[in-house]
Chains A and B, each alone.
Chain A
Amino acid sequence: MADKTPQSAASATEADKGYWASNVRIIIISLIIWAIVSFGFGILLRPALSGISVGGSDLGFWFAQQGSILVFLALIFFYAWRMNKLDREFGVEEE
């Protein structure tokens, strides 16, 4: 892996394609979760969740005011951890 130079990134080897495809897949999954908790649970799906009560209101209200923010945090740290691991798996990490 150490023999890979920055220039070889340009020639897009099979391994490089695999790395980028995995990255895009992780991004898409993360953004689906991002949209579900905010636009979904927080706004559009709130009526469907109204049966689940959380401290004086319902689950949708909680997601809109707090839950979505906590999920956003988890997503960013998950992505950083997962990608730094992926970098090493494909040997594309920084020296």
Chain B
Amino acid sequence: MDQFTINLLFVGASFALYIGIAIWARAGSTSEFYAAGRGVHPVTNGMATAADWMSAASFISMAGLIAFVGYDNSTYLMGWTGGYVLLALLLAPYLRKFGKFTVSEFIGDRFYSPTARMVAVACLIIASTTYVIGQMTGVGVAFGRFLEVSNTTGLLVGAVIVFAYAVFGGMKGVTYTQVAQYCVLILAYTIPAIFISLQLTGNPIPALGLFGDHVASGEPLLTKLDQIVRELGFSEYTAHHTDTLNMVLFTLSLMIGTAGLPHVIMRFFTVPRVADARWSAGWALVFIALLYLTAPAVGAMARLNITELMWPNGTDGEAVSVQMIAEDDEYDWMATWQKTGLLGFEDKNGDGRIQYYNDANPEMQAKAAENGWEGNELTNFNRDILVLANPEIANLPGWVIGLVAAGGLAAALSTAAGLLLAISSAVSHDLIKGQLNPSISEKGELLSARIAMAVAIVVATYLGLNPPGFAAQTVALAFGLAAASIFPALMMGIFSKKVNNVGAVAGMLAGLVVTLVYIFLHKGWFFIPDTNSFTDADPLLGTIQSTSFGAVGAMINFVVAYVVAGMTKETPQEIKDLVESVRFPRGAGAAQDH
């Protein structure tokens, strides 16, 4: 059986499973559609939250970013897990006690203002849609690669599948489908990592292998990696070499953004009790940590494998020959990925060998002049192919490659579905039922939720075909916006009785607008190329890159809300009573519709 058939088999079988579950669990009432009738166990809910949360960015992209930068990109690991502490301690139990269906409902009621609710709806829709666009782009690339079709066809196939189970299943379909997706995703991520860790360190647990010894040299793996990348003129893997302030702000933005993203927060509305909401966040992080503790090992080990493949005789020996790449099975992956245009190599000096080194390093330039090298010849290695290509790089069996294909798609699809649900409930429940037509029937509400979902997927698919920028930039925008707008409003709504309607609206708008403008100034207005005034290499404010600005936006939100609240009319007594009741678990019933 060839690799294409194996990939198709794995991807096809996993999809049959998800769709089967979605049909089996078809939603009946409105309450079931949004929140699965609150019958979801904390462990089940944690697993589904993990699948929802870990998108193409975590599965496909993150280990590659860590592999080629090293320590400095630990920010992703800390940022995308640390947010769960904020969620568990500051938001989840109180929002569950509040007992409504959506995030904007809480903001509208707590700040006794339909305007606040609509501003929250706008923030949610903007953040979620930009996030979905990133996922759809990922879906297109992964489908295109593994089904060996064009990016466009891949994206359309993916869109149809997301539509099928999100629209017909609702939350319950999505919850159980996402449990299945989590299982596929985590097996696909850890199995190749275990093989590779065994090969390199003899330790079956990648997270321990990372800090273990490299079998071939007997030295610690990280010491070996630092040494060989240093010898090729790259900065040491474990060294800190970028700006500290930016690193701190970037980590903080990812953390706050995690706790402000509606599709993650919504998960905590679906557990039966307040106590379960507290446990649920912990279980979600357990399942997320299985991938996040493996990711740095995947990155470091892949970097070592790739470097050693390029220098089979060691960094002071001869580089790999063009003939070897063409003929040796170990190098098949290079030809496969070269076809996608995401990997490139070129024998610039015509010596029949491919020299991979850092040609921007003066010491290496001197060495290159001595040896007749004419620049780095591994000309392109897209970070996003690392995880998908990893089993091929390590020469693992065909079924592992098929499994990774299914896992990458599960990651992208599950997140896209969760976000679509958040968007559809914001439109049907908050906008239509809450504002435009309060007397809408349950059936009408369900129908409008499905129409909203269909519209959102069409928009996301269209923008996914013509993305406003790289997926990573799009995702960064989503995080920055959620951090700057939603999280501060939720936190102040629970922990401060002083912040009133005007304060909250002013805070959300200030955080949202300032962050949006800062991002547009660096990435181009509405992501139109060449309309930017600054770049992240030389940002407007000191060393703060546009991806790190969410944390600053959040601080602006807090300050503006407090100052404006101090100047305007005090929060009424019944709202103070509402805040008081949200703080105590007793009396938490089932969600109320209104």
Which residues of A are in contact with B by a Cβ distance under 8 Å? Answer: 4-6, 9-10, 12, 16, 19-20, 23-24, 27, 30-31, 34, 38-39, 42-44, 46, 54-58, 61-62, 64-66, 68-70, 72-73, 75-77, 79-80, 83-84, 87, 91-95
Provide the residues of chain A in CB contact with B82, threshold 8 Å.
34, 38, 68, 72
Closest to B201 in A: A55
Q: Decide if A46 touches B240 in the complex (CB within 8 Å).
A: yes
B207 sits at the interface (CB 8 A): yes
Provide the residues of chain A in CB contact with B526, threshold 8 Å.
none
From A4, A10, A64, give the contact of B577 (CB < 8 A).
A10
Give A72 to B294 CA distance when docked, in angstroms: 16
**Which 4 A-B residue pairs are closest in the complex by CB-CB distance?**
A56-B220, A6-B587, A55-B211, A56-B222
Q: What number of B residues sit within 8 Å (CB to CB) of A? A: 54
Give A29 to B583 CA distance when docked, in angstroms: 18
Closest to B274 in A: A94
Give A55 to B205 CA distance when docked, in angstroms: 14
Of B81, B85, B274, B282, most buried by chain A (CB within 10 Å of CB) is: B85
B221 sits at the interface (CB 8 A): yes
Residue pairs across A and B with Cβ atoms less than 8 A apart, 22 shown, are A6-B586, A9-B584, A10-B580, A10-B581, A27-B89, A27-B90, A30-B89, A42-B78, A55-B211, A55-B220, A56-B211, A56-B221, A56-B225, A64-B74, A65-B71, A65-B296, A72-B85, A73-B289, A80-B278, A80-B279, A87-B586, A93-B585
Residues in B555-594 with C-beta less than 8 Å from chain A: 577, 580-581, 583-588
Provide the residues of chain B in CB contact with A12, threshold 8 Å.
580
Q: Decide if A38 touches B293 in the complex (CB within 8 Å).
A: no
- Also in contact, A57 and B247, with CB within 8 A (given A20-B583, A30-B85): no
Provide the residues of chain B in CB contact with A44, threshold 8 Å.
244, 248
Q: Decide if A73 touches B586 in the complex (CB within 8 Å).
A: no
B286 sits at the interface (CB 8 A): yes
Q: Decide if A73 touches B282 in the complex (CB within 8 Å).
A: yes
B405 sits at the interface (CB 8 A): no
Q: Decide if B247 touches A55 in the complex (CB within 8 Å).
A: no
From A16, A20, A76, A92, give the contact of B281 (CB < 8 A).
A76
Give A94 to B271 CA distance when docked, in angstroms: 13
- Also in contact, A68 and B81, with CB within 8 A (given A19-B584, A39-B251, A43-B251): yes
Give A13 to B93 CA distance when docked, in angstroms: 21
Besides the known contacts A57-B222, A58-B238, 10 further A-B residue pairs in the complex with CB atoms under 8 A apart: A56-B211, A56-B224, A61-B74, A69-B81, A72-B84, A76-B281, A76-B282, A79-B278, A94-B275, A94-B585
Q: Decide if B581 touches A9 in the complex (CB within 8 Å).
A: yes
Q: Decide if B88 touches A80 in the complex (CB within 8 Å).
A: yes
Contact with A along B224-235 (1 / 0, CB 8 A): 111000000000
Provide the residues of chain A in CB contact with B219, threshold 8 Å.
56
Provide the residues of chain A in CB contact with B54, threshold 8 Å.
none
Q: Decide if B211 touches A62 in the complex (CB within 8 Å).
A: yes
Residues in B38-96 with C-beta less than 8 Å from chain A: 71, 74, 77-78, 81-82, 84-85, 88-90, 93
Provide the residues of chain A in CB contact with B221, threshold 8 Å.
55-56
Closest to A82 in B: B278
Provide the residues of chain B in CB contact with A91, threshold 8 Å.
586
Closest to B299 in A: A65
Closest to A26 in B: B89
Q: Decide if B78 touches A56 in the complex (CB within 8 Å).
A: no
Closest to B582 in A: A9
Provide the residues of chain A in CB contact with B296, threshold 8 Å.
65-66
- A70 vs chain B, min Cβ distance (A): 8
From B77, B88, B222, B584, give the contact of A64 (CB < 8 A).
B77
Give A31 to B585 CA distance when docked, in angstroms: 21
- B537 vs chain A, min Cβ distance (A): 21
Provide the residues of chain A in CB contact with B583, threshold 8 Å.
9, 20, 23
Give A77 to B278 CA distance when docked, in angstroms: 8
Give A62 to B77 CA distance when docked, in angstroms: 12
Q: Decide if A43 touches B207 in the complex (CB within 8 Å).
A: no
Q: Decide if B78 touches A73 in the complex (CB within 8 Å).
A: no
- Also in contact, A93 and B275, with CB within 8 A (given A39-B251, A56-B220): yes
From A42, A55, A80, give the contact of B222 (CB < 8 A).
A55
- Also in contact, A65 and B74, with CB within 8 A (given A30-B85, A55-B210, A72-B85): yes
Provide the residues of chain A in CB contact with B285, threshold 8 Å.
72-73, 76
Q: Decide if B581 touches A73 in the complex (CB within 8 Å).
A: no
Provide the residues of chain B in CB contact with A42, threshold 8 Å.
74, 78
Provide the residues of chain B in CB contact with A70, threshold 8 Å.
289, 293
- A91 vs chain B, min Cβ distance (A): 8
Q: Decide if A61 touches B238 in the complex (CB within 8 Å).
A: yes
Residues in B78-129 with C-beta less than 8 Å from chain A: 78, 81-82, 84-85, 88-90, 93
- B563 vs chain A, min Cβ distance (A): 23
Residues in B290-326 with C-beta less than 8 Å from chain A: 292-293, 296
